Structure 1
Amino acid sequence: MEKEKEARVEVKVNFLSIDRGTGAPIVVLKEKEGDSNRILLIWIGESEAAAIQMHIEKMQLPRPMTHDLLKSMIETLGAKVTAVCVHSFEERTFYAHVTLEVNGDNIDVDCRPSDAIAIALRCEAPIYIVEEVLAEQGYSEQELDKGQKPDTKDVLQNLDDDTLKQYTV
């Protein structure tokens, strides 16, 4: 796969929510720029959701969590996280990689999107989604506007159950 030639869209973590049917955490990524304000929903694990939320809320723990440890190891080894990217969606699962700069070379390391996001937040690295993935799996705010504009925090409540079932943790 030629990842560097694929169009990518920069996104931000908009908020975390809970799937009301399963109780599973969902991270909501929103396009940083552009007129469509597209969003992507990714079901994630509880520990990754906690790691993302703790970082967003700037909570300081007495000991490093796993993603803090990874950041420290990467930096100690002289590498730098330059970006993370959700690059594909296959068999109801999102795939991502972390791009590390090591001695002037870029290395893509396969990982779960939730881990990539948690690391990107800690390393202040940009988060991207391949355009094709966002176009096929994402939603525009206009698509979610069915009659009235929902509050962003109510986006998940406005999705029907068939749409929600498309995604896995």
Structure 2
Amino acid sequence: MQEMRVVALGRDPMAVQPVLLLQEAGGRRRVLPVWVGVPEATAIELARRRVELPRPQTHQLILDVVRAFNRTLQLVRITMLRDSVFHAELVFDDDVRVSARVSDAVAMALQVDARIEAEDAVLDEAAVAEVGMVGADDEDDDAGDTSSEHEELEQFRRFLDNASPEDFGNPG
């Protein structure tokens, strides 16, 4: 099991579909691309940026219900890849587990700062080698970036602009 962090949310120009990029926090620093729908990408980005809306989104409502029952989301696990679809589970206190879509699970994890992990088997099957990634939090801090970091970021942006699901092999 490897800890993951959200590093980018971009758009696949070939499929006109958002792609969530999760990267190993340590180790080999592989990148796990997860294609998500537009509403799911919006929810993830709003949670990532801590945007408060007047009414709760679905993942926020679920978290409110969980809190109302005195439970806490402890962890999100990406558990498998079956038929080209990622599966995840929400792990609550007392080891209560609930199956979830990765996009929903990530949005919830971001909302409450829960850890995100991926099974090694999932990473072995679907992750790609680090491609000059710069952390999502680093993008906003241009003052401390070196020219090589800027080049790596530009290289990654070019990669994202031209990436398609086929570039990552057939996970199914």
Task: Name the counterpart of 2:157.
Answer: 153
Unmatched runs of 5 consecutive residues or more in structure 2: 134-150
Task: Name the counterpart of 1:53.
Answer: 45
Task: Name the counterpart of 1:4.
Answer: none
- Structure 1 residue 123 corresponds to structure 2 residue 112: yes
Any conservation in 2 of the 1:43–1:167 contact (CA below 8 Å)?
no
Any conservation in 2 of the 1:42–1:167 contact (CA below 8 Å)?
no
Match of 2:67 among 75, 81, 94: 75
Matched residue type, 1:27: L
Per residue, is there more helix in 1 or in 2?
2
| Deviation per residue, 1:19-55 (Å, 9 max, x gap) | 1111111100011112x22100001111111011112
Q: What is the distance in 2 between the residues matched to 1:116 and 1:44?
A: 12
Is the partner of 1:79 in helix, strand or coil?
coil
Match of 1:140 among 129, 132, 152: 129
TM-score scaled to structure 2, two decimals? 0.80
Instruction: Calculate the aligned-residue CA RMSD, in Å.
Output: 2.4
Q: Which is worse superposed, 158-167 or 114-123?
A: 158-167
Q: What is the distance in 1 between the residues matched to 2:107 and 2:16?
A: 20
- Structure 1 residue 163 corresponds to structure 2 residue 155: no
Any conservation in 2 of the 1:16–1:25 contact (CA below 8 Å)?
yes
How many percent of aligned residue pairs carry the same amino acid?
A: 28
| Deviation per residue, 1:53-105 (Å, 9 max, x gap) | 1122222211111111111111110111010011101111111110011xxx2
Deviation, 1:154, is 3.2
